[in-house]
Amino acid sequence: MNNNRDNDQDNLRSFLLMSELEDGEPISQREIAGRLNIALGLVNSYLKTLVQKGFVRVKSYPRNRYAYLLTPKGFAEKSRLAFQHLSNFHKLYQATRQDSLALFTRLSEQGVKAVSFCGLDDLTEIPYLSLQEAGLELETVMEAMPSDQRFFNRPVVGLEDGAQKSRGPIILTALQRAEELKQSLLELGVEEERIYGPALSFEEILENNR
């Protein structure tokens, strides 16, 4: 079971990383890490593996810039992972839609008028759809490293700023980083009873739908 979970996460990260490389433009590992919101050391490790497997080659540019280019073998692997990712996304969409709608409906019945989102990823738009369906308002959107992001024309603020501005429930909306974000909010003094996470983890959703 653990091997399946590890493989799913490895394949997703490899797909996302190769998607960042497909245009062939010079890019630093730090920039890739920032775009994918994963650790710099992890990017380095994945790139080394992709190079070893023949999926990526490295081209040097002046001023210590590098382009990580997908090889023909790499483009074929990216297409295979894209198909797998699409299948997984369908599973994640269904689970996230049902889970978030049930949560927002329950909060609405308790008299809650607005909630805040904490964490952005490829699935965050799904809870937003459920939020609208349940008739709730979005108070604040926060992220660990916002970097001038916007979410449906709303500014994305840092966790400390978001924790201070938010008055209602805070919903963890980055599935794979839910526990990490929850811990950060607790360290900022947010009451645990105000924090709501997904019913199932990313790995559990994929495992339950095999």
Mean pLDDT of 122-145: 93
Quick check: is 78 in a domain? no
Mean pLDDT of 187-200: 89
Quick check: is 81 in a domain? no
Quick check: is 174 in a domain? yes
Distance CA 11, CA 1 (A): 15
37 and 125 fall within a common domain: no
Angle at 72 between CA 69 and CA 74, to 5 degrees: 65
Quick check: is 75 in a domain? no
Distance CA 71, CA 59 (A): 12
167 and 131 fall within a common domain: yes
Residue 121: φ, ψ to 5°: -150, -165
94 and 183 fall within a common domain: yes
Query: Pick from 35, 70, 105: which residue ends a domain?
Result: 70
What is the token pair recorded at 1? 């079971």
Give all strands (DSSP E) within the chain, no chain letters.
Answer: 56-61, 65-70, 114-118, 137-143, 150-151, 154-158, 170-172, 195-196
Domain harbouring 130, CATH code: 3.40.50.720
95 and 58 fall within a common domain: no
Locate tokens 């490895």: which residue? 10
118 and 170 fall within a common domain: yes
46 and 126 fall within a common domain: no
SS3 content of the chain, % helix, strand, coil (to 5): 55, 15, 25
34 and 109 fall within a common domain: no
Host domain of residue 125: 89-208
Quick check: is 107 in a domain? yes
pLDDT number for residue 154: 92
94 and 9 fall within a common domain: no
Mean pLDDT of 90-110: 90
CB 189 within 8 A of CB 163: yes
Task: Please name every residue paired with 137 in a beta bridge, in sequence order, or none if there are none.
Answer: 114
Domain harbouring 8, CATH code: 1.10.10.10
CB 29 within 8 A of CB 42: no
Quick check: is 138 in a domain? yes
What is the token pair recorded at 194? 């105000």
Task: Please name every residue paired with 150 in a beta bridge, in sequence order, or none if there are none.
Answer: 155
Q: What is the pTM of this model?
A: 0.63
pLDDT number for residue 76: 92
109 and 144 fall within a common domain: yes
Locate tokens 């459920």: which residue? 130
pLDDT number for residue 3: 55
Averaged pLDDT score across all residues of the chain = 86
Distance CA 144, CA 33 (A): 14
Condensed to tens digits (0 to 9), the pLDDT of residues 14-36 reads 888 998 888 877 788 888 888 88
Q: Name the pLDDT band for 64 (thresholds 50, 70, 90).
A: low
Query: Pick from 20, 35, 70: which residue ends a domain?
Result: 70
pLDDT number for residue 1: 40
pLDDT number for residue 181: 94
Quick check: is 26 in a domain? yes
- Mapping DSSP onto H, E and C, the string for 106-139 reads HHHHCCCCEEEEECCCCCCHHHHHHHHHHCCEEE
DSSP letter (8 states) at residue 23: T
Quick check: is 80 in a domain? no
Condensed to tens digits (0 to 9), the pLDDT of residues 39-60 reads 889 999 999 999 999 999 988 8
How many domains is the chain partitioned into structurally? 2
How far is C-alpha 17 from the geometric centre of its chain's CA atoms? 13
38 and 108 fall within a common domain: no
